[in-house]
Amino acid sequence: MAYAGLSEISRGSLAVWRRNLDAFIKTYKVNFIPPFVEPVLYLLALGYGVGALIQDVDGIPYPVFIAPALVSISVMYSAFFECTYSSYVRMYYQKTFDAMIATPLSIEDVITGEILWGATRGTIYAALMIPVLFLFGVIDMPTSLLLIPFAFPAGFLFSAIGICFTAVTPGIDALNYPAFLFITPMFLFSGTFFPIGILPQTLQYFAFGFLPLANIVNVNRAITMGEFSPVLLYNIVWVLLVALLFFIIGLNLMKRRLVD
Amino acid sequence: MEIITAHNLEKYFGTLAAVDGISFSVKKGEIFGFLGPNGAGKTTAMKMIHCVSKRTGGDLRVFGLDTDIEPRMIKQRLGVVPQENNPDPDFTTFQNLTIYARYFGIPRSEAEKRAEELLEFMQLSEKRDAPIETLSGGMKRRLIIARALMNEPELLILDEPTIGLDPQARHLIWEKLRHLRSIGCTLVMTTHYLDEAERLCDRLVIMDSGKILVEGSPAELVRKYAGKEIVEAAANPEFVACLKEKRIEFEVFGDTIQVQADDPQIIAQIMMESCGRERITVRMATLEDVFLKLTGRTLRE
Ligand SMILES: Nc1ncnc2c1ncn2[C@@H]1O[C@H](COP(=O)(O)OP(=O)(O)O)[C@@H](O)[C@H]1O
Ligand SMILES: [Mg+2]
Q: Are residues B218 and B231 in the same domain?
A: no
Residue B258 sits in the same domain as residue B132: no
Domain total for chain B?
2
- From first to last of its 301 residues, chain B has per-residue pLDDT tens of 899 999 999 999 999 999 999 999 999 999 999 999 999 999 999 999 999 999 999 999 999 999 999 999 999 999 999 999 999 999 999 999 999 999 999 999 999 999 999 999 999 999 999 999 999 999 999 999 999 999 999 999 999 999 888 898 899 999 999 999 999 999 999 998 899 999 999 999 999 999 999 999 999 999 888 888 888 888 888 888 888 888 888 888 888 888 888 888 888 888 888 888 778 888 888 888 888 888 886 666 5
Asked if B86 lies within 8 A of A99 by C-beta distance, the reply is yes
- Domain hosting residue B264, numbered range: 227-285
| Nearest partner of A172 among A96, A87, A256, A111, judged by Cα | A87
Reported ipTM: the value is 0.92
Amino acid (one-letter) located at A239: V
Q: Could you tell me if B210 and B235 lie in one domain?
A: no
Q: B108 and B255, same structural domain?
A: no
- Give the start-end residues of each E strand in chain B: 2-13, 16-27, 31-35, 57-62, 65-66, 78-81, 155-159, 186-191, 203-208, 211-216, 229-234, 251-253, 256-261, 280-284
What distances in angstroms separate CA B130 from CA A18, B14, B99, B118, B166, one per listed residue? 21, 43, 15, 16, 21
Q: Are residues B25 and B76 both part of a single domain?
A: yes
Same domain, B56 and B85: yes
Closest ligand to C-alpha of residue B301 is 1
- Smallest CA-to-CA distance from A195 within A221, A229, A227 is with A221
Q: How many alpha carbons fall within 13 Å on the CB side of residue B213?
A: 20
State whether B91 and A22 contact (CB < 8 Å). Answer: yes
pTM, rounded to two decimals:
0.93
Q: What CATH number did the domain enclosing B184 receive?
A: 3.40.50.300
At B251 the pLDDT is 84
* Same structural domain, B118 and B266: no
3-state DSSP call for residue B244?
helix
On whether both B116 and B239 belong to a single domain, the answer is: no
Instruction: Say if B296 falls within a structural domain.
Output: no
Closest ligand 1 atom number to CA of residue B42: 22
Residue list, ligand 1 pocket, CB within 6 Å: A 260; B 13, 16, 18, 36, 38-44
CA gap B99, B111 in Å, rounded: 9
Q: With respect to residue B193, please indicate whether it lies within any of the assigned structural domains.
A: yes
Query: Which 3 state secondary structure label does DSSP give B106?
Result: coil
Residues in chain B with CB shorter than 8 Å from the CB of A114 are none
Share in percent of chain B as helix, strand, coil (round to 5) = 40, 30, 35
Delimit the domains of chain A by residue range. Answer: 2-258
B181 and B235 in a common domain: no
Same domain, B250 and B210: no
**Same-domain pairing of B94 and B142:** yes
Is B97 inside any structural domain?
yes
Give pLDDT tens digits for A168-190: 999 999 999 999 999 999 999 99
**The CATH number of the domain where B258 resides is what?**
3.30.70
Taking only the tens place, the pLDDT of each residue in A48-62 is 888 888 888 988 999
The Cα–Cα gap between A112 and A115 comes to 5
